[in-house]
Amino acid sequence: EVQLLESGGDLLQPGGSLRLSCAASGFPFSDFAMTWVRQAPGKGLEWVSLITRSGGGPYYADSVKGRFTISRDNSKNTLYLQMNSLKPEDTALYYCAKGKGMLVENYCFDYWGPGTLVTVSS
Amino acid sequence: QSVLTQPPSVSGAPGQRVTISCTGSASTIGAGHDVHWYRQLPGVAPKLIIYGSTNRPSGVPDRFSGSKSDTSASLAITGLQAEDEADYYCQSYDSGLRGYVFGTGTKVTVL
């Protein structure tokens, strides 16, 4: 059974830094792209970042480019998101999800974790 | 920013058919990129219900179907059931942004 479990969410002040983790199990982690998607309270889904199975790309939404860094440790079956220079508008539930597809341009996300909450407020 | 536009809400009586549109552009759906659909129940992570524009993952009822044409896509739900009340999102890739985009989301209400 595929399982994804995010951790690392916290309450912090603007300008702060945080690293999220996503522990994966139940599938060959190194064979699949992984992504982060966030959802602000009461709002829709916003794609954040994606990393290919070999660490390629990575790809970022314009809203986080230059501030967030996605990485993975295939030996630990873990996905990471390093978040720097955090802003109040980064407040959201952050989901990690497993990529599905043959071409990067056609990826969808077939399994999701329950999410971890990041709150940025002074 | 969302570059895929969906109606904020649709509704129907039990047993009826509803459709949700997803309007993109030449850099998203019009570029030939696949469209995928997710259902999100309150307080729960999204679940993939259509991938590759028309395909259903194992376990998703055949009441759900997807289609794509030109710069738009649609999700149809037939035989509407109370359990279908949820938020639905489309997703694709944007060649201009070099990233993935979700639709604005549609709330389905069963009357």
Average pLDDT estimate for B53-57: 96
Confidence of residue B3 (pLDDT cuts 50, 70, 90): confident
**Cβ distance of B102 and A62 shorter than 8 Å:** no
DSSP for B33-96 reads: ---EEEEE-TTS--EEEEBTTTB--TT--TTEEEEEETTEEEEEE-S--GGG-EEEEEEEEETT
Phi, psi of A104 (to 5 degrees): -55, -40
Query: Considering chain B, what is the average pLDDT of its residues?
Result: 95
Q: Which residue has the tokens 């729960």?
A: B44
Give residue for tokens 């570029």: B31
Count CA atoms closer than 13 A to B28's CA, side-chain side. 26
**For residue range B12-37, what is the model confidence (pLDDT) as tens digits?**
999 999 999 999 999 999 999 999 99
pLDDT tens readout for residues B67-81: 999 999 999 999 999
A60 to chain B, any CB pair closer than 8 A? The answer is yes
Read off the pLDDT band of A32 (50, 70, 90): very high
- The pLDDT assigned to A28 comes to 97
To probe the interface with B, which of A22, A45, A51, A95 has the most B CB atoms within 10 Å?
A45
For the beta carbon of residue B78, count every other beta carbon within 10 angstroms.
15
pLDDT, tens digit (0-9, with 9 covering 90-100), for A97-112: 999 998 999 999 999 9
pLDDT, mean of residues A52-71: 92
Chain B residues contacting A, CB < 8 Å? 1-2, 33-34, 36, 38, 40, 45-48, 51-52, 57, 87, 89, 91, 93, 95, 97-105
DSSP letter assigned to residue B5: B
State the Cα torsion B19-A113-B55-A34 to the nearest 10°: 120
- Closest to A95 measured CA to CA, from A56, A43, A39, A42: A39
Closest chain B residue by Cα to residue A98: B48
| Residue A57 pLDDT grade (very low, low, confident, very high; cuts 50, 70, 90) | confident
Q: Does A105 touch chain B (CB under 8 A)?
A: yes
Contact residues for B3 (Cβ-Cβ < 8 A; gap 6+): B24, B25, B27, B28, B94, B97, B101
Which two structure tokens, joined as six digits, stand for B9? 């809400």
Nearest residue, CB atoms, A45 vs list B34, B89, B99: B89
pLDDT for position A119: 98
Nearest by CB to residue A44, choosing from B33, B89, B100, is B89
Residue B1, pLDDT > 80, answer no
Mean per-residue pLDDT of chain A? 96
CB pair distance less than 8 Å for A110 and B51: yes
* Length of chain B (residues): 111
